[in-house]
Amino acid sequence: MSDLQDHPALTRLSRFEQGKPMPVRKPALMGYQPTLDGVRAVSVIAVTLYHAGFTWMHGGFFGVEVFFVVSGFLITSLLIEERDGSGKVSLWHFWLRRWRRLLPALFTMLIAIGVWAVFWGTAEQHTQVRRDYPWGIFYLANWGQVFSKVAYFSGTPTLFRHLWSLAVEEQWYLLWPVVFIVFFSRKSRGAIPESDKRRGTTLAMIALGLMAATAAAHVTKWPTKWPFFFSLDPSQWGMRPVETTNFLYLSTFTRSSGLLLGAATAFLWRPWRARKRAAASAGQALNIVAFLAVAVLFTAFAIGKVADAATYLWLLPSVTIASAALVAVLVHPAAGGARAVFGSRPLVEIGKRSYGLYLWTWPISRIVNAYDGSPDKFLLAMAIAIPVSEVCYRYIETPIRKGVLGRWWEQRQRRDWNLVTACATVSAVAVAGSMSVFFLNTDAVFDAAKDTSNTAVFDPSAIGSTVPATVPESSLVPTETTIGPPVTAATLPRRVVILGDSTAHSLAINLPVGIESTFLLTDGSLEGCTVYSDGQAVSSRDGYTRKFAGCSGWQQDWVDAAQAAQAEVALVVIGPWDVFDQQVAGVDIPFGSPTADDRFIGGVLSGINALASVGVEAALLEVPCMRPVDIPGAGVPALPERGDDARVAHVNDMLRQVAADNPTKATFIDGPKDYCTSEFLATNLNYRWDGVHPLSSGTKLTFQTIANALLAIPIG
């Protein structure tokens, strides 16, 4: 009898019992989602219109937040799919893909705009390039602007202001894969395993917590200082002052909520993996959600303002959540209507080019001054930027992203390599040498108010006589200023600290030659600060505002400056920020109202009391009539309130009242009347470069007028 194991039936039964291993079903991949490019298109259009300065697109900057949410979702989805497919995530390949996608276009833009600025840009733009290049190259532009003295949303916009958002995203690309590998790298099976649901929920809670923390920080005006360590010199490290709103808008921490919520959505939402078809009613529900999300976004685009409290309290969180909801809908196969709209070819094609459009439209708009809401300038900027962006997309971005350089590297010949090496070396040396010369010959800080000619000469012997105002002999408008003899014989030179806003700064840096024998003057000014620590000035021109939150502690700054200068007298030069309506804690305060007057007088009193506590008397300089004009390079446009002589006169009346009520602490000093009586001199830009801030000729006129009054102030 044969062995039972050899019987054919038993052999077949054995095979049946053992069975064949069931094939493991690989999870479905998300694949290319054209609808996400459609979302990018809407975002870049909103941002571009915002950059153009159109008042009906105040909140177009929220388009950046939409970008963040899309990036968080897309990048995390790709990491999850790589983890689930191969069981691991390759950091090198991830970063290589990101670098090929981002760096070529960025460096092309930096080189092109940098060359333009060097050869054809203004002195201010030279300084901007010198300051912004290192931050931009190393993807730290957001921190460069956080620690800048000029807030993102005020002052003259720089050529590379828009790079802050790219810096936030690149920092995310650098850190998030590492976090993912450390905490979320365990391979999963199924549509959405419980572990990923927990991870997504945790990330969503962290994102919501960041939104709440950002809102709380805005309410409490935190932070005012932040650690600075972006320097090769350790002695430069330490706490640096920051403007709260500037920090909240630009910092990696406060702007990561959109990226994190997008990542949370990727963990919680993978409809392409679902094994069952969605119910017919699901498509309708999804389309309704998409419609509501779009309504939230477009409302924010229309009403949002960068510096408004509402932005950080509820608008930005609403945009973040709406963006996540829209992304979730648009990747769902059942959302037919929404997918048809956002997947339309025009939007998709714009979305594919959104990165290049974002890179190029802003600096070109800045070059042609298309950022003040002018339709003609906007069309000119777009006529240049769109073709330039398209050329960059076709011949730089796309080929490099598809691996042209990698294929060339693999196929290179030794002769080619030697030639390329030689060319690259020569180019690197040329660029490095040129940039070194440029950096060495460019001011680190541009000061539009600085008079480089400085031809005015202060004549001490003219004090006590009739001194003609410094008007060209060709002028047909005669004017002169009469100065009486000094009342007291002050010890010369009298030590004076100049306190106040940017007009005080202009006086301090544009001193006429020879004044040092009469006055030893020190600059103690605070840019954009008058006598307030909160609230904001509000202009009727395009809703222009100036926040005073960054001026907190100005009284102590006055005292510190006076003591450092060993000043006998403090010349207080304010006024240009005191002729506006104000808004405090959301409440509008009209100029000239009792509340506004009490606020101004109280501020002045707190300043002179602080000075009196260290034995320094305040000389309150009369605010001159102003004739503001728009000047390229000016940090502030021509605001009509400054040209209102009635408002200026009211401010002067209050300053006189303060001096009269506090004769032992303050003296009111009459300034040049010529700025009100002589139209030629009032509008002469050789005296005040923008009709407000004096140059050396204007400073000479002021000090000739006030010299005896300053010398007459008794000390001790």
319 has pLDDT over 50: yes
Rounded to the nearest angstrom, the gap between the alpha carbon of residue 436 and the centroid of all alpha carbons in its chain is: 27
Q: What is the mean pLDDT of residues 451-473?
A: 60
- The single-letter DSSP state of residue 456 is -
Which of 126-135, 195-204, 361-370, 565-574 has the lowest average pLDDT? 126-135
Residue 297 CA to residue 318 CA, distance in Å, equals: 8
For residue 676, what are its two tokens? 């009100």
Residues 407 and 474 placed together within one structural domain of the fold: no
Same domain as 566, residue 692: yes
The confidence band for 475, taking pLDDT boundaries of 50, 70 and 90, is very low
Is 482 found in the same domain as 386? no
403 and 465 co-located in one domain? no
507/621 same-domain check: yes
Pair 478, 335 in one domain: no
Range of the domain at 343: 34-274+285-411
Among 371, 389, 411, the domain boundary falls at 411
Q: Is 431 within the bounds of a domain?
A: no
Determine the Cα–Cα distance for residues 686 and 454; give it in Å rounded to an integer: 11
- pLDDT for the residue numbered 518: 92
Of 370, 392, 411, which residue sits at a domain end?
411
User: Do 158 and 297 fall within a single domain?
Assistant: yes
Sign, CA dihedral 561-565-566-572, equals negative
Q: Is residue 429 part of a domain?
A: no
- Residue 75 scores a pLDDT above 50: yes
Residue 452 lies in a domain: no
Same domain for 592 and 531? yes
Helix count (H) and strand count (E) of the chain? Answer: 27, 13
Residues 480, 376, single domain; the answer is: no
pLDDT of residue 148: 81
Is this model's pTM higher than 0.85 or not? no
Same domain, 584 and 708: yes
Q: Are residues 184 and 257 in the same domain?
A: yes
- Residue 140's pLDDT is 93
The contacts found for 512-517 with CB under 8 angstroms, 24 or more apart, are 512/454, 512/456, 512/457, 512/458, 512/696, 512/697, 512/699, 512/700, 512/703, 513/454, 513/456, 513/457, 513/458, 514/457, 514/458, 514/459, 514/460, 515/458, 515/460, 515/700, 515/703, 517/460, 517/492, 517/493
Query: Model confidence over 540-597: pLDDT tens digits?
Result: 987 788 888 778 889 999 999 999 999 999 999 999 999 999 999 889 999 999 999 9
Q: Identify whether 222 is part of a domain.
A: yes
- Kindly state whether residue 583 falls inside one of the protein's structural domains: yes
400 with 473, same domain: the answer is no
User: Would you state the pLDDT for residue 373?
Assistant: 86
**Mean pLDDT, rounded, for 58-81:** 95
The answer to whether residue 439 sits within a structural domain is no
Instruction: Kindly indicate the confidence band of residue 21, based on its pLDDT and cuts at 50, 70 and 90.
Output: low
Q: How far is it, in rounded angstroms, from Cα 541 to Cα 630?
A: 12
Which CATH number fits the domain that encloses residue 633?
Answer: 3.40.50.1110
Number of domains in the chain: 2
Residue 1 belongs to a domain = no
Whether 59 is covered by a domain: the verdict is yes
pLDDT digits (tens, 9 = 90+) for 680-706: 888 998 899 899 999 999 999 999 999
The mean-pLDDT minimum among 601-605, 658-662, 671-675, 712-716 falls in 712-716
411, 431, 450: which is the final residue of a domain?
411
